[in-house]
């Protein structure tokens, strides 16, 4: 990145000049503003009373971190004030979130995980914000309805994430490749640092919670075991890397190549295997980014972006990563 690096605002203007909807460009800029504030608060989390648990649980029954709630409200307030969405859905909220009156004229809905990996806040591991944008199905002039959100991931108008780590990065796609921007803390600008990201066709990294291996199907267990076999094939043995923050694990593999796995699992005899990650807030955005960067994403049998949701809080299994790694995995599990 040089001092002449393109700013996010200039990049968006350039995209508008070649056909990006100006309203969508404005929405993406509106999402960036509260995430800059979230980044600042994360950097001072050890000094402020925003660490730890809030004493509440979210719709998924998980304990909510204080900074989760703070981040959630920042994004909601920013998008309402800007009037850039006709409705929102958050991993932290059970119901669809209403827009401002001005937002009823917007063509877009936004879904977001305000603080992915928040269990890592107190131990200073990278976390992130994930977002997804769809164009509403109905006409302007009213708040979005549930059907506006329940679209397959292939209909996403944009998707991305903010990674809060040694630096803060925005990784973004509007359906024409993937670009990465790094926050300059001196100017408060996001500067284009990783133009046209292409994930390697094959990588040596595999990312999964092997502590859950006993819950997986045998084919998945055999596949992961094969990655440790020096005679197992090209690109092996694999290098296991797992943080437990989807943004951190995905970001590393996007740049360096590899595969991230969160397979369906069953913990009781006779129990139907089920996925854990959220289709709308996690799997869909990451699948769009992966495909736009030359990779792929699947639930083990179906392309993630082809899944038709029935709930904004729907869960799914997720395998996402480099093209060749994904092809090997899907062949190993019979798909």
- Clarify whether residues 26 and 119 are in a common domain: yes
Tell whether 277 and 224 lie within a shared domain.
yes
Regarding pTM above 0.85, the answer is yes
What are the tens digits of pLDDT across the range 51-71?
555 456 655 555 556 788 899
Q: Is the pLDDT of residue 111 over 90?
A: yes
- Taking the C-alpha atoms of residue 26 and residue 158, their distance in angstroms, rounded to an integer, is 12
Residue 245 to residue 120: CA distance in whole angstroms: 7
CA separation (Å) from 201 to 139, 171, 324, 331?
41, 19, 6, 16
Q: Residue 236 in 3-state DSSP?
A: coil
Mark whether 88 and 187 lie in a shared domain: yes
**Residue % of the chain over a pLDDT of 90:** 79
Instruction: Please report whether residue 3 resides in a domain.
Output: no
Nearest to 310 by CA among 146, 156, 97: 146
Residues 6+ apart with CB under 8 A from 36: 168, 183, 188
Could you tell me which residues come within 8 angstroms of residue 185 by beta carbon, excluding any fewer than 6 positions away?
A: none
In a domain, 82, yes or no: yes
Higher pLDDT pick, 56 / 301: 301
Q: How many CB atoms lie within 10 A of CB 204?
A: 18
pLDDT, tens digit, 9 for 90 and up, residues 216-269: 999 999 999 999 876 555 555 589 999 999 999 999 999 999 999 999 999 888
CATH code of residue 63 = 3.30.540.10
Residue finishing a domain among 141, 171, 194: 194
Domain-embedded: residue 278: yes
For residue 317, the domain's CATH number is 3.40.190.80
Both 189 and 211 in one domain: the answer is no
Residue 118 has pLDDT above 50, yes or no: yes
Residue 194, exposed/middle/buried by CB under 10 A (0-12, 13-18, 19+)?
Answer: middle
Q: Answer yes or no: do 145 and 45 share one domain.
A: yes
Which residues constitute the domain of residue 48? Answer: 8-194
Complete DSSP assignment for 29-51 = HHHHHHHHHHHHHHHTTTTTTT-
Domain match, 185 and 75 both:
yes
Are residues 131 and 263 located together in one domain of the fold? Answer: no
Q: What is the pLDDT of residue 58?
A: 56
Query: What is the dihedral sign for C-alpha 132, 149, 68, 73?
Result: positive
Token pair of 285 as six digits: 């955005």
38 and 75 housed in the same domain: yes
For residues 296 and 327, give the distance between their C-alpha atoms in angstroms, rounded to a whole number: 9
Q: List, for residues 136-193, the tens digit of each pLDDT value.
A: 999 999 999 999 999 999 999 999 999 998 899 999 999 999 999 999 999 999 999 9
What is the DSSP secondary structure assignment for residue 191, as one 8-state letter?
E
Rounded Cα distance, 28 and 172, in Å: 9
pLDDT digits (tens, 9 = 90+) for 194-210: 999 999 999 999 999 99
Asked if 182 and 224 sit in the same domain, the reply is: no
DSSP 92-160: T-SSPBP--TGGGG-SEEEEEEEEETGGGGGGT--EEEEEEEEE-SS-SSS---HHHH---GGGEEEEE
Residue 291, in any domain of the structure? yes
Q: Give the chain's end-to-end CA distance (angstroms, integer).
A: 41
Final residue belonging to a domain, choices 194, 225, 245: 194
Report yes or no on 186 lying in a domain.
yes
Same domain, 228 and 276: yes
pLDDT of residue 318: 98
Tokens 């951190």 map to which residue?
248
Comparing CA positions, the residue from 148, 132, 7, 16 lying closest to residue 75 is 132
Domain boundary among 161, 194, 227: 194
Residues 6 or more apart from 125 whose CB is under 8 A from it? 117, 243, 244, 245, 248
Residue 199 lies in a domain: no
Claim to verify: residue 227 and residue 133 sit in the same structural domain: no
Q: Are residues 52 and 156 in the same domain?
A: yes
pLDDT band at 2 (very low <50, low <70, confident <90, very high): very low
Report yes or no on 2 lying in a domain.
no
Token reading at 248: 């951190």
The answer to whether residue 298 sits within a structural domain is: yes
Structural domains in the chain (count) = 2
């Amino acid at each position: 990145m040089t001092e002449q690096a393109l700013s996010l605002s200039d990049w968006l203007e350039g995209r508008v000049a070649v056909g990006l909807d100006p309203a969508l460009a404005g929405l993406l800029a509106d999402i960036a503003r509260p995430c800059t504030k979230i980044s600042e608060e994360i950097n001072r989390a050890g000094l402020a009373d925003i660490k730890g648990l809030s004493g509440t649980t979210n719709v998924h029954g998980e304990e909510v971190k204080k900074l989760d709630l703070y981040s959630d409200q920042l994004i909601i307030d920013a998008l309402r004030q800007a009037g850039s969405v006709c409705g929102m859905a958050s991993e932290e909220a059970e119901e669809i979130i209403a827009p401002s009156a001005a937002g009823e004229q917007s063509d877009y809905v936004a879904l977001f995980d305000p603080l992915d990996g928040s269990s890592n806040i107190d131990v200073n591991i990278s976390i992130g914000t994930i977002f997804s944008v769809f164009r509403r199905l109905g006409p302007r002039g009213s708040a979005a309805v549930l059907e506006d959100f329940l679209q397959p991931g292939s209909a996403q108008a944009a998707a991305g994430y903010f990674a809060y780590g040694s630096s803060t990065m925005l990784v973004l796609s509007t359906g024409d490749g993937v670009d990465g921007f790094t926050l300059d803390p001196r100017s408060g600008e996001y500067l284009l640092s990783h133009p046209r990201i292409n994930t390697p066709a094959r990588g040596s990294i595999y990312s999964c919670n092997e502590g859950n291996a006993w819950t997986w199907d045998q084919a998945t267990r055999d596949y992961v075991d094969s990655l440790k076999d020096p005679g197992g094939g090209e690109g092996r043995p694999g290098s296991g890397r797992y943080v437990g923050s989807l943004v951190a694990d995905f970001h590393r593999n996007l740049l360096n190549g590899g595969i991230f796995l969160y397979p369906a699992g069953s913990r009781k005899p006779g129990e139907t295997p089920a996925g854990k990650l959220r289709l709308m807030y996690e799997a869909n955005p990451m699948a769009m980014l992966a495909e736009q960067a030359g990779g792929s994403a699947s639930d083990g049998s179906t392309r993630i972006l082809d899944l038709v949701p029935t709930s904004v809080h729907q869960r799914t299994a997720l395998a996402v990563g480099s093209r060749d790694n994904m092809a090997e995995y899907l062949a190993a599990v019979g798909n």
